[in-house]
Amino acid sequence: MSVIEVSELRKSYGGRRAVDGVSFTVEEGEIFGVLGPNGAGKTTTVECVEGLRVPDSGRVRVTGLDPVADHARVAQVLGAQLQQTELQPKLTVREALEMYASFYPRPADWRPLAERLGLAARLTTRFARLSGGQKQRLFIALALVGAPRVVVLDELTTGLDPRARRDTWELIEDVRAGGVTVLLVTHFMEEAQRLCDRIAVVDQGRVAALDTPAGLIRRSAGATVISFTPSAPLDDDDLTGLPGLASIERKDGRITLSGTDDTVNSVITLLARHRVTAHQLRVVDATLDDAFLDLTKETTA
């Protein structure tokens, strides 16, 4: 069942179209990622889902409710960690968690959340005295304290160190295992590849691609990269005829080919046929970074 529905969403600011016909659905229990370059329209899209912005046109529904017209009801089922948030400087971590919990009829117990997010030792610390990473962890806890059915996380682990980032990923996986649907906006490709069931790549206000992480990687111009130093010269004609080949690069005697599994098999056959040894042979699968760069090539060039 679709928990979030976005259809032909459009939003402009001062004549500039920030979101231009974005459509996607998020299924119950899914971690759905939204990726895109800076200014692509990611945050505007999720702010329309949260009911924080009114779309110019299109349809948005969260558990069947209009986030604007039914905002109070949506707020009871949707938690949000915004890209930019501030609290009253003198508010302590405990006070913030207790205050947010009081907004909901059946909130989660904030104590295990605080423990899991490394905030248990900071409960009496005022917001102004928290580090950037501690503030980020607090905002994640506040997004989850209402025991939401859906949670929107915008730049989830910005400001966190590598250990805290991985601990947070495990928390989000546990949250999903508990039945919560997650809409995740991120610019960390490793994070998206680790967490997301499906990803919408947004570019220039439109959905450039929507697929699983593996599906997006398969779309990359060179899903597999083969690099080696040949023991004897190889003709370009032999290399350019390889099946699935996307690109060839020669540098300091080393050859790097981008292609597919068929390219790998054909390179091995070619080397054997010419009795050429491949020194320091490496075969590496493309990553979500590669797919992202291919899909947003015009914008990021």
pLDDT digits (tens, 9 = 90+) for 231-256: 999 988 899 999 988 889 999 999 99
Across 273-287, average pLDDT: 90
Residue 221, CA distances (Å) to 2, 180, 182 in order: 32, 35, 29
Consecutive H or E run containing 111? helix 110-116
CA–CA dist 53, 41 (Å, integer) = 13
Burial label, 177 (beta-carbon count in 10 A; 0-12, 13-18, 19+)? exposed
Confidence of residue 299 (pLDDT cuts 50, 70, 90): very low
Record the pTM.
0.79
Query: By C-alpha distance, which of 104, 6, 128 is closest to 60?
Result: 6
Which stretch of DSSP H or E encloses residue 164? helix 162-177
User: Cα(127)–Cα(5) distance, rounded to whole angstroms?
Assistant: 35
Distance CA 70, CA 65 (A): 6
pLDDT-based confidence at 3, cuts 50/70/90?
very high
How do beta strands 247-251 and 198-203 pair?
unpaired
Other Cβ atoms within 10 Å of 75 Cβ, number:
18
